[in-house]
Amino acid sequence: MEAMKALLEQRGLALSLPRIGTIITLFVIYRIITAIYRLYIHPLSKVPGPKLYSFSSLPFDVHYKIKGTFVRGTTGLHKKYGPVVRIAPDRVAVDGSLAWPLFMRRYPEEFSKIWEFYGFGPLAILGSPPENHRRQRRIMAHATTPAALADQEIYLQKHVNKFVDVLAEHADEDRPIDIMLWFNYLTFDIVGELTLGTSLGCLDSRDTVHPLVGVVTATTRDNARRMFLTGLPLIGSFIPMLTYVLRKKEIDKMLAMQRHMDEQSEARIALGTDTRRDLITYMLRANAEDKEGKGMSHEEMLVNSRVLLLAGGETTATTLSGFAFHITENPDKYRLLADEIRSAFSFADEITIRGTSQLPYLCACIEESLRIYPPAADTPPRVSPGAEVGGYYIPKGTIVSVYQWATHHSEDNFVDPETFAPQRWLPETHTLYEPRFAADNKAACKPFSAGPRDCTGKILAYAEMRLAIARLFWHFEFDREAGQDDWISSQCVFTLAEKGPFMIRLRRRPGV
Ligand code: HEM
């Protein structure tokens, strides 16, 4: 010990007590000056919000990434502080009623994306810079037009048929079923078929969870914690290495899965444009017609296939699960929907994408499910280019987030926001229309985001949801198992809601 002290002294590194005292004093002075600057001088100092959040990003990080309580808690923050709230020194939450018009702005005034947020790299459509995004978006938008969807219906129907078969087995054996899991199997199989040229086989494998579905549904909390640790000063940069050492087996398994998916993508790309009409067909066509570098590179196609798989499965399944929760909580609405669907068709084969689009109550139930339980409860953050928002100047570089959950649950935007009321989405001519819902600010509800970077898969998602729900009601009666009333209220949200099983019991409808 003495030898160590002597060595440190020799090198001038030994810290005497007074020196430590000076360092601590300097640190405290630094923190006080920072606090005064952030609270009273910083360009965001006029934006209301809890003082502690303006001073340090730690409260935000702890609630958002560790506890998973921030996203839904924003409802209370907006209620107390208004539509623009400072939630960290350099971050604001903006209610959708004000934020969506900002998200519609285009380059160079656009509220830009943060590609690091997504974990796909800068080549993927989700975070790509404006010039690349425009090119990729033009190509991918062709894949989800009504005409393209008509070509894809055969795949959707194939998997919905399988889904009904599985549900029928459970009904015959009078076994409850975790409908959340099976909705995930359905939507992942569909998006797998449309992206990889082959189903992921989730519905076939019955109770074995496909690794991709497992990764998406079971790792939301872990990912958020890793984000928190990685952001810590000093130790943050060691976290990825440490995580790899501690969880080598799991990480290797995930990497192997990713390689397998990429191989499947390669195989689909190799099939070309003639054999299938799926989401990849349009990328390949754009490349075939590419005269001025307007197609997609091979790497872009691979990474965007990964995006489609992840963006398209969980979101749609979450909406369907939320729908199952709310419709089983409201027997009167269950009955209205059942009557509409069962009186519209004579045979299961008549239940098509087009046919279901003519059912106003079904469409209203989906819209209301997206409002009351938005799967993207926390729209990925944007960066302000420097703009006036709700009477406050939000300087360039500030991170802007819309918490859809808060926007959709705000009394300023919706009448009775906590009530599942599909009738708020019905046209005035419908017999169930209620004029009191005319006061709703429907434009504030944008579950698929808004502007040039909103969801490209929107019409595909609506089609899947209509088909799945219509067939569910066509073949079965169902209700939820007891003791699940807090299924939604008990969920933590780490960008995605952390969902447990939602158990329902099905009975076959006689004569169907
Ligand atoms: C209910 C279902 C869905 C919801 C609520 C949803 C929601 C969203 C949201 C909020 C965004 C914007 C993300 C951001 O701002 O960064 C987005 C983007 C995107 N979604 Fe969806 N999505 C759904 C289904 C799908 C499906 C089925 C697909 C395709 C298979 C898909 C493909 C995409 C893609 C490619 C983007 C990126 C678009 C771009 O950056 O230009 N989504 N989605």
Q: Quick one: 232 and 284 in the same domain?
A: yes
Binding pocket residue ranges, ligand 1, CB within 6 Å: 125-126, 137, 140, 191, 307-308, 311-312, 315-316, 319, 375-376, 379-380, 447-449, 453-457, 460-461
Question: Is residue 457 a contact partner of residue 311, using CB atoms and an 8 Å limit?
Answer: yes
CA distances 116 to 127, 128, 129, 386, Å, are 8, 10, 12, 21
Count CB neighbours of 260 within 10 A.
Answer: 13
Please check the confidence at residue 364 and state whether its pLDDT lies above 90.
yes
Task: Judge whether 50 lies within some domain.
Answer: no
SS3 84: strand
d(CA 13, CA 7): 8
Q: What is the pLDDT of residue 235?
A: 82
Q: Quick one: 130 and 21 in the same domain?
A: no
Separation of 342 CA from ligand 1 center, angstroms? 31
| Nearest CA-CA partner of 506 in 177, 185, 206, 181 | 177
Task: Judge whether 46 lies within some domain.
Answer: no
Q: Quick one: 21 and 68 in the same domain?
A: no
Separation of 448 CA from ligand 1 center, angstroms? 6
Amino acid identity, position 458: K
Q: What is the pLDDT of residue 9?
A: 62
Q: Quick one: 124 and 22 in the same domain?
A: no
Amino acid identity, position 132: N
Helical residues (DSSP H) of 247-402, grouped into ranges: 248-271, 279-288, 298-329, 331-344, 353-357, 360-372
Amino acid identity, position 77: L
Residue 107 CB-half CA count within 13 A = 11
Q: Quick one: 244 and 340 in the same domain?
A: yes
d(CA 34, CA 40): 10
| Nearest CA-CA partner of 358 in 478, 263, 466, 270 | 466
Q: To the nearest whole percent, how much of the chain has pLDDT over 90?
A: 75
With cut-offs at 50, 70 and 90, classify the pLDDT of residue 38: very high
With cut-offs at 50, 70 and 90, classify the pLDDT of residue 2: low
Separation of 356 CA from ligand 1 center, angstroms? 22
Give the residue whose CA is nearest to atom 14 of ligand 1. Answer: 380
Residue owning tokens 């040039």: 452
Q: What is the pLDDT of residue 287?
A: 87
What would the pLDDT profile of 239-282 be if each residue is shown by its tens digit? Answer: 888 877 788 887 888 888 889 889 999 999 999 988 899 999 99
Please check the confidence at residue 14 and state whether its pLDDT lies above 80.
no
ipTM value: 0.99
d(CA 221, CA 487): 17
DSSP state of 509: P
Helix/strand/coil (H/E/C) assignment for every residue in 363-416: HHHHHHHHHHCCCCCCEEEEECCCEEECCEEECCCCEEEECHHHHHCCCCCCCC
Separation of 507 CA from ligand 1 center, angstroms? 34
Return the best residue to mutate from 455, 459, 495 for the ligand 1 pocket (most ligand atoms within 8 A of CB): 455
Give the residue whose CA is nearest to atom 32 of ligand 1. Answer: 457
What would the pLDDT profile of 443-500 be if each residue is shown by its tens digit? Answer: 999 999 999 999 999 999 999 999 999 999 999 999 999 999 999 999 999 878 999 9
Mean pLDDT on 335-341? 98
Q: What is the pLDDT of residue 266?
A: 95
When mean pLDDT is compared over 11-25, 104-118, 124-138, 329-343, the highest value belongs to 329-343
Amino acid identity, position 74: T
Task: Judge whether 48 lies within some domain.
Answer: no
d(CA 340, CA 356): 10
Q: What is the pLDDT of residue 153?
A: 97
- Structural domain span for residue 458: 56-508
Q: Quick one: 165 and 107 in the same domain?
A: yes
Q: Quick one: 251 and 274 in the same domain?
A: yes
Mean pLDDT on 296-306? 94
Lowest mean pLDDT among 196-210, 436-450, 490-504: 196-210
d(CA 72, CA 379): 13
Q: What is the pLDDT of residue 477?
A: 98
Separation of 133 CA from ligand 1 center, angstroms? 14
Q: What is the pLDDT of residue 481?
A: 98
Please check the confidence at residue 510 and state whether its pLDDT lies above 60.
yes
Instruction: Write the CATH number for 425.
Output: 1.10.630.10
Q: What is the pLDDT of residue 19?
A: 83
H or E, element range at 85: strand 84-88
Lowest mean pLDDT among 85-94, 305-314, 416-425, 474-483: 305-314
Question: Is residue 494 a contact partner of residue 155, using CB atoms and an 8 Å limit?
Answer: no
Return the best residue to mutate from 105, 303, 315 for the ligand 1 pocket (most ligand atoms within 8 A of CB): 315
SS3 178: strand
Lowest mean pLDDT among 56-60, 92-96, 210-214, 367-371: 210-214
SS3 360: helix
Task: Give the position, in ligand 1's atom list, of the atom nearest the Cα of 191.
Answer: 30
Contacts of 456 (CB under 8 A, 6+ apart): 125, 137, 140, 141, 143, 144
Q: What is the pLDDT of residue 257?
A: 84
Number of domains in the chain: 2
Q: To the nearest whole percent, how much of the chain has pLDDT over 70?
A: 95
Give the residue whose CA is nearest to atom 9 of ligand 1. Answer: 448
Q: Quick one: 187 and 293 in the same domain?
A: yes
With cut-offs at 50, 70 and 90, classify the pLDDT of residue 208: low
Task: Judge whether 32 lies within some domain.
Answer: yes
Please check the confidence at residue 12 and state whether its pLDDT lies above 70.
no
Q: Quick one: 130 and 238 in the same domain?
A: yes
Length in residues, the chain: 512
Q: What is the pLDDT of residue 298?
A: 93
Separation of 375 CA from ligand 1 center, angstroms? 10
Q: Quick one: 409 and 363 in the same domain?
A: yes
Q: Quick one: 7 and 68 in the same domain?
A: no
The residues pairing with 504 across neighbouring beta strands, listed in sequence order, are 177, 480
Count CB neighbours of 87 within 10 A.
Answer: 26
Question: Is residue 447 a contact partner of residue 375, using CB atoms and an 8 Å limit?
Answer: yes
455 marked as binding residue: yes
Question: Is residue 383 a contact partner of residue 397, using CB atoms and an 8 Å limit?
Answer: yes
Task: Judge whether 299 lies within some domain.
Answer: yes
Residue owning tokens 């590419």: 290
What would the pLDDT profile of 105-158 be if each residue is shown by its tens digit? Answer: 888 889 999 988 888 899 999 999 998 999 999 999 999 999 999 999 999 999
What would the pLDDT profile of 220-245 be if each residue is shown by its tens digit? Answer: 777 788 888 888 887 888 888 887 77
Task: Give the position, in ligand 1's atom list, of the atom nearest the Cα of 309.
Answer: 30
H or E, element range at 195: helix 179-196
Task: Judge whether 14 lies within some domain.
Answer: yes
Question: Is residue 307 a contact partner of residue 120, using CB atoms and an 8 Å limit?
Answer: yes
